[in-house]
Amino acid sequence: MAEPFTRLTSIAAPLLRDNVDTDAIIPSREMTSTGKTGLADGLFAGWRYIDATRTPNPDFVLNQPQYRDAALLLGGRNFGCGSSREHAVWALVEYGIRCIVAPSFAPIFQSNCVRNGIVPVVLPTEAIAPLAGVVCHVDLVAQTVSSADATLSFDIEGEARAMLLEGLDAIDLTLKHRDAIQAFHARDRSQRPWVYLEQNHA
Amino acid sequence: MTTLFDRIWDAHIVAPLPGGAALVAIDRVLLHERTGAAALNSLAAAGRAVADPSRVFAMMDHIVDTLPGRTDQTLMPGGQAFITETRAAAQAAGITLFDVSDPDQGIMHVVSPELGIVLPGLTLIAPDSHTCTQGALGALAWGIGSSEAEHAMATGTLRLTRPRAMRVTFTGTLSPGVTAKDMMLALIAAHGAGGGAGHVVEFAGESVTALDMEARMTLCNMATEFSAFAGLIAPDDVTFEWLKGRRYAPQGAQWRAALSGWQTLRTDDDAVFDCEIAIDAGSIAPMVSWGTSPQASVAVTGSVPADAAPAMLDYMALEANARLIGTPIDAAFIGSCTNARLSDLRRAAALLKGRKVAPGIRAICVPGSSAVRRAAEAEGLDRVFLDAGFEWRMSGCSMCFFAGGESFAEGSRVISSTNRNFESRQGLRVKTHIASPETVAASAIAGAIADARAIRPLPLRGAGRAVQRRRERGSGEGKSIPPSPTLPPKGEREFG
């Protein structure tokens, strides 16, 4: 279950390249434990460090002093593409990122964000660039990103918004539909018995 | 008026949800050892059970070593824990596990179709982005995160907003030497790595229906590189013949009932898609990537674009306008859920037969499943690869992405039959060029990126022997090219 999200005020850290992939967000070599934690150090490891002893790369955005505490990341198109690894989002959450603003997201990454309390905000490229280095206020209730200069509206679909606002556990919500699920299976089992495999299992 | 996607989606709606989403029934869940333990342990810690363990399968592919004589140990420190914890969690949950030494072990997107775990019209999910591969059989199959896998196992459903529908029609006929891999790279190069975002993509057209089952899997495999929700091909006689008799496919009267339903799984002539793309298949050449996104791909006979992104050129140590052919490589890799099925290995072997990998090139072949490996060995393909100078490995994801901690030498340039050319995916600062198995084989011989069409393939006598054997068992049905890999005899005996 994720932390509920309503509002966030943070400087916006720009990582304005297209197709930032989840291998870049958390490389395979950094995924060394079977759990969901201990990943923040490996976040963006290939870009963030210049050597194996983890010397910070001064050119990487999150290593620059003004972005040290940034909770808001600006991205390019198709942000989070590639591997479905939820570790990418777990690493971002553990590091302290709570909102990503990009022109588009890869679908699995976007869904992983919602499940873990990161707000994926879609805004046009031309609206995002001026936010770089600016202190922004993200309001999920009003669905706005505002800076001293402008207020931008975004749209996030109802189910995802409700999940984020209330930090709801999706499984608990779904289990309230237990009767509908059982009715579906009873009907489906008569129509498509081959879908149900109990008979193939010892 | 109805698309294939609509038909499958609508048949799986359990209940509408507020805000336009729906609770969608999930027929199959697959897990692998990189995330399987995390998902199963997290469920157990919350006191939740797997609702129907008979429809959940776990495979060892992502972390497991691929060196001959492997055990649970990996080069990666801590890798063994992924294997042992997934094994323990799978046993505790009562789900089917294809363990490290199981004869059916392999990459999940190779094994699941081999065993008929995926079937037309099913919904199938896995915490693996290349789950879209299995849409080749007419199933709605897509990758999810670990949390969604937990949700599907606990409830038998997912909460989803309906994706939009796109059709990509490949018209005309492919030229000789051009493959499904090249079709996808051409699509992504033309329309971008985000081109399919938000859409379920149905692949259609005469050059798609002309593909065999394994090539269709290659096509759908890279739907995720197009950022699509899923890739999908309408099931037809190619699909049905390929599936018949597979272990988890319906048998007898149930097969006949299933088949009559599957034959209706198609898009109506008057159906309207949210987006349509048409590509002339005849204009596609063998493709190779030059940059660090699959969209950064060109015809192998082409050059790095004049307006190539400087960051990509810098990483790839290439210059704008440079010709791809002749670019020296350090290594060649044939493997992955994209291109490591028997037909892929046969086509590469036909080029490698009687030839040698160029001096100093590290070349590796990793069959997509243990069954593919056995079938290839029965045809003598292992000898062809070994004699040419390739390593011949056990099955798994291997060096597609650093699996088990194994990677190519730092900074080396690799031609690879895989699906992703991301920075450092195959090792620190490794420069990956993705291409078809043919292009990889030809480049390994040349020691530089090469056009496979310039090499004459040699007939593989072994393939004929395999046909013979299938016919003797009465399951080959006289096909000139047998469906591969061959069926496990155990399944035939139990359900035939």
For domain B286-454, which architecture applies? 2-Layer Sandwich (3.30)
Position of tokens 């969604």?
B148
CATH class of the domain whose range is B9-162:
alpha beta
pLDDT of the residue at A132: 98
Count H helices and E strands in chain A, helices first: 8, 7
Q: How far apart are CA B446 and CA B386, in angstroms?
A: 17
> pLDDT tier at A199 (50, 70, 90 boundaries)?
low
Architecture of domain B163-284: 3-Layer(aba) Sandwich (3.40)
Report the DSSP beta bridge partners of residue B143.
Answer: B126
Q: What are the DSSP E strand ranges found in B372-476? A: 390-392, 413-416, 431-434
Which of A194, A198, A199, A201 is the best residue to mutate to test the B interface, defined by the most B CB atoms within 10 Å of its own CB? A194
CB pairs under 8 A between A and B: 201
pLDDT higher than 50, residue B81: yes
Region label for B349, one of left (φ > 0), alpha (ψ between -120 and 50) or beta (otherwise): alpha
Tell me the average pLDDT of chain A: 95
CA distance B154 to B330: 47
Facing B423 at nearest CB: one of A24, A104, A158: A24
Interface contact flag, A33 B119, Cβ < 8 Å: no
Tens of pLDDT along B202-241?
999 999 999 999 999 999 999 999 999 999 999 999 999 9
Cα distance from A172 to chain B (closest Cα, Å)?
9
Given a cut of 80, is residue A200 above it in pLDDT? no
B19 near A114, Cβ under 8 Å?
A: no
B46 in contact with A, Cβ within 8 Å: yes
Mean pLDDT of A171-179: 95
For residue B309, pLDDT beyond 70: yes
- State the DSSP code for B488: P
Nearest CA in chain B to A105: B197
Interface of A with B in 141-180 (CB under 8 A): 157-162, 170-171, 173-175, 177, 180
| pLDDT tens digit sequence for A119-143 | 999 999 999 999 999 999 999 999 9
How far is B349 from A191, CA to CA, in rounded Å?
45
pLDDT over 50 (residue B327): yes
B78 touches chain A (CB under 8 A): yes
Contacts B428 to A, Cβ<8 Å: 46
Please determine, for residue B450, whether its predicted confidence score (pLDDT) is greater than 50. Answer: yes
Q: What is the mean pLDDT of residues B467-482?
A: 38
Q: What is the pLDDT of residue B486?
A: 39
Q: Is A169:A1 a contact under the CB 8 Å cutoff?
A: yes
Task: For chain B, give the percent of residues with pLDDT over 70.
Answer: 93
Q: Does B155 touch chain A (CB under 8 A)?
A: yes
Residue (of B284, B291, B266, B273) closest to B228 by Cα position:
B273
- Closest residue of chain B to A181, computed from CA coordinates: B14
Q: Which of B23, B35, B77 sits opposite A174 (nearest CB)?
A: B23
Closest CB from A23, A33, A77 relative to B194: A77
Confidence band, pLDDT 50/70/90 cuts, at residue B281: very high
pLDDT given at position B269: 97
Interface of A with B in 67-106 (CB under 8 A): 77-78, 81-86, 89, 104-106
Chain B segment 415-454 residues within 8 A of A by beta carbon are 420, 422-425, 428
pLDDT score, position B403: 82
pLDDT > 90 in chain A, percent: 91
- Section B370-380 average pLDDT: 98
pLDDT at A196: 97
**Inter-chain contact A78–B25, Cβ cutoff 8 Å?**
no
Q: Is residue B484 predicted with pLDDT exceeding 70? A: no
Tens of pLDDT along A139-162? 999 999 999 999 999 999 888 999
**Segments of chain B assigned to CATH 3.30.499.10:** 9-162, 286-454
What is the reported pLDDT for B467?
42
For residue A39, pLDDT over 80 is answered with: yes
pLDDT confidence of residue B414: 98
- Both tokens of A74, joined, read 């600006």
User: With 0-12 CB in 10 A as exposed, 13-18 as middle and 19+ as buried, what is B294?
Assistant: buried
CB-hemisphere CA count at 13 Å for B121?
A: 22
CB B380 within 8 A of CB B462: yes
User: Per the omega criterion (within 30 degrees of 0), is the bond before B176 cis?
Assistant: no
What is residue B462's predicted lDDT score, i.e. its pLDDT?
60
Question: Per the CB < 8 Å rule, is A27 touching B96?
Answer: no
Residue with tokens 């879908």: A195
Q: Residue with structure tokens 């896998």?
A: B149
pLDDT-based confidence at residue A33 (cuts at 50, 70, 90)? confident
Domains of chain A: 7-168 (3.20.19.10)
Note whether A89 and A116 are within 8 A (CB).
yes
Angle at CA A70, nearest 5°, toward A65 and A73?
120
For residue A195, the chain B residue with the least C-alpha distance is B27
Residue of A nearest to B153 (CA): A171
**Can you tell me the distance from the alpha carbon of B471 to that of B486, in angstroms, rounded to the nearest whole number?**
11
Is the whole model's pTM more than 0.90, yes or no?
yes
Indicate whether B5 pLDDT > 80: yes
What residues of B are in contact with residue A177 (Cβ under 8 Å)?
A: 14-15, 23, 155, 157
* pLDDT over 50 at B482, yes or no: no
Residue B493 clears pLDDT 60, i.e. is over it: no
Task: Yes or no: say if B106 and B98 are a contact pair by the CB < 8 Å rule.
Answer: yes
Mean pLDDT value across residues B61-87:
94
- pLDDT tens digit string along B10-40? 999 999 998 789 999 999 999 999 999 999 9
Nearest to B422 among A21, A196, A198 (CB): A21
A112 in B contact zone (CB under 8 Å): yes
For an interface test with A, which of B227, B312, B399, B431 has the most A Cβ atoms less than 10 Å from its Cβ? B227
Residue A59 scores a pLDDT above 60: yes
Q: Could you tell me if the ipTM is greater than 0.90?
A: yes
Q: Are B221 and B134 in contact (CB under 8 A)?
A: no
| Distance in Å, alpha carbon of A118 to nearest chain B alpha carbon | 14
Asked whether the beta carbons of residue A77 and residue B25 sit closer than 8 angstroms, the reply is no
- CA separation, residue B228 to residues A134, B237, B297 (Å): 33, 26, 18
Q: What is the pLDDT of residues A69-113, one digit of tens each?
A: 999 999 999 999 999 999 999 999 999 999 999 999 999 999 999
Closest listed residue to residue B23, CA positions, set B121, B162, B145, B150: B162
Best mutation target, A81, A115, A184, to test chain B (most B CBs within 10 A): A81
**Residue B145: which of A17, A78, A112 has the nearest Cβ?**
A112
pLDDT reported for residue A144: 98
At residue B437, the pLDDT reads 98
